[in-house]
Structure 1
Amino acid sequence: MMFHSGILNPFSLSIIPLLTVIPVLITFVLGIVLAYYVYRDAEKLANPPLKIPPIIWALFVFSSMGMGLIAYWLINKSNLNRE
């Protein structure tokens, strides 16, 4: 940090680390929220397709984010799984 006359110069602080951490935190929180939603929704299914337990769905959605959510929707919510 650079000091000028004993006062911290705010323009010398780098905001690059902050710009890196914020998207990571947002992605992490979004992953938790989506996994929780999928877990709660999968618990409500009386006869889930493929017999995949809700915790597995939640872990899959958390680890793969968008792809897991799309796979969950296609298998459980869309008309693709209707016979």
Structure 2
Amino acid sequence: MKINETNRIGAHHHYQKQNEARVSGVNKARQKDEVQISAAAKEMLTTSQAQDPERSKQIEQLKRSVASGTYYVEAGKIAEKLLPYLKE
């Protein structure tokens, strides 16, 4: 009686593939994400509108009104701005 066929092709490949997947999975876990910011983007950050004192003043006023709970948004204005995007 034969329990295992000795000339069976690929019988050990299944276990070898599992081992290779496990090893490659370890390598994937060690990889880290990287972000590179171009020189043009850095320049845009330094010359952004947030540097404008008038804009900074407006932003601070908005922050205070949101924190105090007095900030009000008109639903109609939001709908007007969203409508062109929803039509596309």
Q: Normalising to structure 2: TM-score of the pair?
A: 0.29
Which structure carries more helix by proportion? 1
Q: Which has the higher contact order (CA 8 A, sep 6+)?
A: 1
Which structure carries more strand by proportion? 1
